[in-house]
Amino acid sequence: MTQTDERRLTQLEWLESEAIHIIREVASEFERPVLLFSGGKDSVVMLHLATKAFWPSPVPFPVLHVDTGHNFPEVLSFRDATVERLGLRLEVASVQDYIDDGRLRERSDGTRNQLQTQPLLDAITGGRFDAVFGGGRRDEEKARAKERVFSLRDEFGQWDPRNQRPELWNLYNGRHRPGEHVRVFPLSNWTELDVWQYIGAEDIALPELYYAHQREVFERDGMLVAVSDVSLPRDGETTSKRQVRYRTVGDMSCTGAVESDAVTVEDVIVEVAATRLTERGATRADDRASEAAMEDRKKEGYF
């Protein structure tokens, strides 16, 4: 047996290879791809994979962020610095613009994650994007577990979970009619632990709020919500300074922190390996609205 025969890919190498294959497949098969990039860890990993897929050439498509107007400032700063460092074109769809001109109305609970769908769909239509990379993973939430790697959206941007194409091994079907587009999920087979182990192995930088830090928070519905201009305590809710970190980032008013002492990637890996709760189950209030909250939003065109 030769040395080559003895070589076996590690789990992370296999996942990286699959994701890069998917990204290259999209670049060759579609005319106008775009990559959703929020500055969150999954989109950071996805962008890192895209840079490796085409290195030393630049990433050959723009990145798109749907900005709720309630994003963490640290994440927006990280997003802008990353885009500048890589020389990318950033498209921003602003929920605030839609509220200001009356196309959307502020929700009674003050959260904006659920308001992202229309700006996202309009940006896809306006940019004539036919493939949209998303950082969704099957382990995050049961509706996302139903998605194929290539997930067709109709001319209204909607998803029908009962009408998905068979996907055998790495045979992806990107066929679509004018007006339709395909959502593509290169990290489908990754877990939260895989993502963190890959971040550690590749020394990928993230916004600092993913690591434990002191923050003033209050407790609401079992989550620790940061005190900010868009998330203030109500009557009966008291604030305190806690050592916390974020497992996922999004709208500040509905994304919770978790108490943590994990200040390094290695610490986070140990913490994630021991947890019994998914990151969205632990920290996203919008997913708790109903049993089918995520699936309902995805049917309408959400990420």
According to the 3-state scheme, what is the secondary structure of the chain? CCHHHHCCCCHHHHHHHHHHHHHHHHHHHCCCEEEECCCCHHHHHHHHHHHHHHCCCCCCCCEEEEECCCCCHHHHHHHHHHHHHHCCCEEEEEHHHHHHCCCCCCCCCCCCHHHCHHHHHHHHHHHCCCEEECCCCCCCCHHHHCCCCEEEECCCCCCCCCCCCCCCCCCCCCCCCCCCEEEECCCCCCCHHHHHHHHHHHCCCCCHHHCCEEEEEEEECCEEEECECCECCCCCCCEEEEEEECCCCCCCCCECEEECCCCCHHHHHHHHHHCCCCHHHHHEHHHHCCCCHHHHHHHHCCC
Q: Return mean pLDDT, the chain.
A: 91
- Determine the pLDDT at residue 34: 98
- Determine the pLDDT at residue 262: 97
- Determine the pLDDT at residue 141: 78
pTM of the model: 0.91
pLDDT bin (cut points 50, 70, 90) of residue 3 is low
Q: pLDDT tens-digit profile of 155-181?
A: 999 998 888 888 888 889 999 999 999
Q: pLDDT tens-digit profile of 10-69?
A: 999 999 999 999 999 999 999 999 999 999 999 999 999 999 999 999 999 999 999 999
Q: pLDDT tens-digit profile of 191-232?
A: 999 999 999 999 999 999 999 999 999 998 888 999 999 888
234 or 296, which is more confident: 234
User: What average pLDDT does this structure show over 133-149?
Assistant: 87
pLDDT of 78 above 80: yes
pLDDT bin (cut points 50, 70, 90) of residue 297 is confident
The rounded percent of the chain whose pLDDT value lies above 70 is: 94
Task: Please name each of the domains of the chain with its CATH number.
Answer: 11-193+292-300 (3.40.50.620), 207-274 (no CATH)
- Determine the pLDDT at residue 162: 83
- Determine the pLDDT at residue 1: 47
pLDDT of 114 above 90: no
pLDDT bin (cut points 50, 70, 90) of residue 2 is low
Q: pLDDT tens-digit profile of 273-290?
A: 998 887 766 666 565 555
- Determine the pLDDT at residue 146: 82
